[in-house]
Structure 1
Amino acid sequence: MPRPVRIVLVGLVLAALASGVTGCSSDVGAVLPPGTRAGAARVAGPRVVVIGDSITIGHGLRRDQAWPELLAAADRLRLTDLGCDGAGVLAEGSDECSATDEELAEQAAALHPDVVVLQASSNDLGQDDDELAGASEQLVAEVHRLLPRARIVGISAVWDQDAPPAQLGTISTVLRTAVTGIGGAWLDLGQPFRGHPAWMQSDDVHPTARGQRALLAAVTGALRRDHLRW
C-alpha cells in the first residue's frame, strides 16, 4: 500500500507585516516584530498570514497546537492560518479548500498582511523539477505583486522520522532561489522529526503536538542562527 502523501506547508507561507517600504528584508525585526493576535485586546502587532498545508493547520490536532499558532501566542502576532490539506506550489489542496499556494496567496492579499511566509512542501514530490522552479518563481512574484509592501519569508520543507527523498531538497532550493531573489528571508529548518518516530502521528505523515513544538523550535532556532531578530 502506498504511503500517504506527506503534507508539509510549502510554501511555505506566512503573509503579514506592514513594513512601510517596498520590497523584502531578511531583518526579522521588519518581518515579525512584537504584536498581538487577532481577537486579542491589543491590536498593535503585525498581521501574519500563513499559507501552507495540513501541517500548518495541525492536522489531527487542535488548531492551537499547530506551530504557527504557537508562534503567534508567543509573539502576540495577529495570525490568519490559510493552511490547506495537500497544497503545494503545483499540488492542489483537497477537501473544502482545493487550492494551490498561488490561489492561497490571492486569499492572503485580501487580508492586507504585513508578512508572507512560504514553506516548501513535500506535496510537490513527483513534480517535474523545471516546472517546480518556474511555479516557485511565479508564486513569489505574484505574492510580491499583490503585496508589494509585505515582507516575504521562505521556509524549507520537512519530512518524517526517516531520511528525506532527494527531490525534497530540490523543492526547497527552488523556493529559496525565488524568495531570496526578491530580497526575502530564508529559514532552513533541517529535518526536526528525523530519528523521532514518537513525534509523528500514526499516519507517519503528520507531527504530534510534540512534533509541532519541535517544528516551532526549528523555526525560532533558524532565526537565531541567521541572526534575525523578531
Structure 2
Amino acid sequence: MTRHHPRPRPLAALLALGLVVAATALVWARAGAGPDRCVERAERAEQRSELVTGTGPEVLVIGDSYSVGAGVQPDQSWPVRLPGRVRVDGFSGSGFSAGASGCGDLSYATRAPRSLRTTTRLVVVEGGLNDTDQPVADLEGGARRLLRLLDGRRVLVVGPPATPDRTWGEVARVDATLQRLAGEYGASYLSMLDADLTYQDDDLHPDPAGHREFGDIVAAQVEAMLTSS
C-alpha cells in the first residue's frame, strides 16, 4: 500500500494562518471574550429570550447585558418592569457598532430582523456602554442602519447610564450621538445620564435594585407611548 505523506504547507500559508489566529485572539482579548465566553453569552441570551412577561401590546427590547440581566436572575432584569407583553433580544457585550462585541457582528441592526414581528407594537432599543470605545463613525453607522430598519415603527431609544466603570465624557458622547440620531429618524429618546442606579461589584452592571430603578424609568416612558398610540 502506498502511503501518502502530507505535503508541507507553504510558508505564506502558515503565515496567513498565524495572522488569522493572532487577529482572532486580539479581538477576544479586547472584549474580554473567548470561544467559551461567547458560548456562555449566547446561551444566556437564549434563556432570556424564552422569558416573555406581561400582557397587552407587544413590546420588543433589543439590548446588551443590561437587557439580559447579567449578574442577576432573568426575572430581576429591568425589562420585566415594562408594561405590555415583553420579549427580549439581548446579548452581553453587544451594541450599535458592529465591532462592539468580541463574539462577531452582533450589532442591534444585525439581530433585529430575527426578532421583529408584524405584531410588535413598540421597539425599545437599550445600550451604548459597549460603544464607548468604538469610533464615532461606527456608532453612528450602526445606529442609522438600525433606525432605517425600524422605519415606520414606534421606537424608544434608551441611552447608556453614567456608570462608575466609564468616564462621564465617554458616556456623554454616546448619549449625544444617539439622541441626535433618534431625533433625525423620528424615534423617541430617553437619556439615562442622570439615572441614580446602584451597581454590582464590577461598577458596571446594575444590582437588583438598580434594575428596578432602571426598569421603572423606562416603564413610565413606554406606558406613555403605548397609551398615546
Counterpart in 2 of 1:119? 126
Counterpart in 1 of 2:109? 102
Q: What is the one-letter code of the residue matched to 1:78? A: R
- The answer (yes or no) to whether the contact 2:78–2:211 under 8 Å persists in 1 is yes
Q: Map 1:148-167; keep pairs closer than 5 Å.
A: 148=152, 150-161=153-164, 164-167=167-170
TM-score (norm 2): 0.66
1:87 lines up with 2:94 in the alignment: yes
Counterpart in 1 of 2:210? 211
Please, which of 149, 153, 158 is the counterpart of residue 142 of structure 1?
Answer: 149
Matched-pair identity in %: 23
Q: What is the one-letter code of the residue matched to 2:60? A: V
- The answer (yes or no) to whether the contact 2:53–2:80 under 8 Å persists in 1 is no
- The answer (yes or no) to whether the contact 2:80–2:215 under 8 Å persists in 1 is no
Provide the secondary structure at the position in 2 that maps to 1:107.
Answer: helix
Runs of 4+ in 1 over 6 A off after TM superposition: none
For residue 59 of structure 1, report the CA deviation from its aligned partner.
Answer: 0.8
CA RMSD of superposed structures (Å): 3.2
* 1:110–1:223 Cα change, 3 Å: closer
Task: Show CA shifts across 1:87-118 (max 9, x none).
Answer: 101144466x9611111211222464121122
Please, which of 73, 77, 83 is the counterpart of residue 62 of structure 1?
Answer: 73
Counterpart in 1 of 2:137? 130
TM-score (norm 1): 0.66
Counterpart in 1 of 2:186? 183
Structure 1: distance between partners of 2:194 and 2:187: 22
* 1:151–1:185 Cα change, 3 Å: same
Total equivalences in the alignment = 180
Gaps of 5+ in 2: 1-28, 33-50
- The answer (yes or no) to whether the contact 1:122–1:157 under 8 Å persists in 2 is yes
Q: What is the one-letter code of the residue matched to 2:66? A: I
1:50 lines up with 2:90 in the alignment: no
- The answer (yes or no) to whether the contact 2:53–2:86 under 8 Å persists in 1 is no
* 1:102–1:163 Cα change, 3 Å: closer
Structure 1: distance between partners of 2:53 and 2:211: 23
Task: Show CA shifts across 1:56-87 (max 9, x none).
Answer: 1111111111111122xxx3x11111110111
Structure 2: distance between partners of 1:93 and 1:112: 29
Structure 2: distance between partners of 1:68 and 1:213: 9
Gaps of 5+ in 1: 6-36
Q: For the pair shown, which has the larger CA radius of gyration, 1 or 2?
A: 2
* 1:214–1:39 Cα change, 3 Å: closer
For residue 51 of structure 1, report the CA deviation from its aligned partner.
Answer: 0.5
Provide the secondary structure at the position in 2 that maps to 1:49.
Answer: strand
- The answer (yes or no) to whether the contact 1:64–1:70 under 8 Å persists in 2 is no
- The answer (yes or no) to whether the contact 1:201–1:207 under 8 Å persists in 2 is yes
* 1:162–1:124 Cα change, 3 Å: closer
- The answer (yes or no) to whether the contact 2:126–2:160 under 8 Å persists in 1 is yes
